[in-house]
Amino acid sequence: MVGNIFARRILGASGRRSNNLRQSNDGRAGSNFFFVLSGFLITLLLLAEMRSTGTVSLSGFYMRRILRIFPLYFLSLLIAPILQYIGLIRLSGCNYWYAFTYIINFAPKECVLTSYSHFWSLAVEEHFYLIWPLVFLLFRRWALAFTVLVILMCWIVSEDGYSLFAAFSDKYYVNRWTIPAAAPIAIGCVGAYFCNNKYLVRTFDKVGGIIVCVSLFTIVYPWANIFGIYLAALGVTIFIFLKQRSAVTRVLEWRPLAWIGTISYGLYVWQGVLGGNGTYREFPVFPPPLYEGLAWAFVASIASYYLFEKPIMRLKHRFSWHRGPQAMSVVTR
């Protein structure tokens, strides 16, 4: 059976946090690893639901996403007007509303508040998952073709392709637009289909270690493009998923790491709000210095999980397609 999902998620969660402390390739590597992992896990769950029930409850899917993502997200947004009211920051006319409407990844550069700039990745995810379950349900056999089409579109418009959005790069962070930024999510979806094919799984069992080692060179060498990083992330994710008895999996399921995984969403939210997403400060008082802000973010993540997120998550079972811990067993080999 699949091990602790939160332990898996720590791979991407820790990668995101690392972007505050160092740059890896173009600075997006942590988010890209998380995107691949996210697409992989979400699609595994969709495949499991389809196999178990013969369909996918769209209302159930969206309600589970809303209950998990929206409450803490909008709670964090409430901090900005409060800070402005007491004079610690100054919002422009567009700062707040791009974040509030979940289109911060399309915001012009002058409309991105540093403490909320990391929410571009959450916006990309929600845009993709607004469409993906519907495509998965309606097109079924052709849903995989949709993900391949998304990957192709992302490559065409990306800097590694034909740079079709280059003319907008002075004013916008075009690499954060849903297309091309959704490419690693779609690649993760493809990986889930891979793990749903017994023949491909048997093949990976034989050569998976070699594939992972080769793909990891895309991170080591600076000439490797961003799509190489996507493939490396996918190779590592599939390896961990299939090798449930490996040393890597046992490390990820170490209880302290698994616990950090449970608060990983709060860490993602608060490390940006309180850590400022780097050392640059738009205002002299807020956010606090980077490491002080990250320390406060850790405390806030614990508090928000137990006092705010966890009580709300208890409502998710009302929209679940299963009842009980046996659910994930249907996505095993």
Which amino acid makes up residue 95? N
- pLDDT at position 283 is 80
* Residues 6 or more apart in contact with residue 146 via CB below 8 angstroms: 132, 135, 139
133: amino acid identity, one letter: P
What confidence score (pLDDT) does residue 174 get?
93
**Rounded-to-integer distance, Cα 290 and Cα 109, Å:** 22
DSSP state of 104: G
Going residue by residue through the chain, which has 333 residues, state the pLDDT in tens, using 9 for 90 and above.
444 443 444 444 444 444 443 334 444 566 888 899 999 999 999 999 999 999 999 999 999 999 999 999 999 999 888 988 888 888 776 878 899 999 999 999 988 888 899 999 999 999 999 999 999 999 988 999 999 999 999 989 887 767 888 889 999 999 999 999 999 999 999 999 988 888 777 777 766 666 666 666 666 665 556 667 787 788 888 888 887 777 777 777 788 888 888 899 999 999 999 998 888 888 888 888 999 999 999 999 999 999 999 999 999 888 887 654 443 433 333
Q: How far apart are CA 302 and CA 121, in angstroms?
A: 22
Tell me the C-alpha distance between 303 and 312, whole Å: 14
Count Cβ atoms within 10 A of the Cβ of residue 112 and give its class: 0-12 exposed, 13-18 middle, 19 or more buried: buried
pLDDT, residue 29, reads 62
> CA distances (Å), 30 to each of 24, 39, 253, 260, in order?
8, 15, 20, 17
**pLDDT at site 216:** 64
User: In the prediction, which pLDDT does 8 show?
Assistant: 43
pTM of the shown model: 0.85
* 108 beta partners: 172
Q: Dihedrals φ, ψ of 173, to 5°? A: -90, 85
CA angle 160, 162, 164 (to 5 degrees): 115
The CA distance from 47 to 258, in Å, is 24
192 vs 241: CA distance, rounded Å: 10
Cα torsion for 204, 205, 210, 212, to the nearest 10°? Answer: 60
Greatest extent of the chain over all pairs of C-alpha atoms, in Å: 61
111 contacts 95 by C-beta, under 8 angstroms: yes
**Separation CA 307–CA 310 (nearest Å):** 7
From residue 32, alpha-carbon distances to 71, 124, 270 in Å are 24, 11, 19
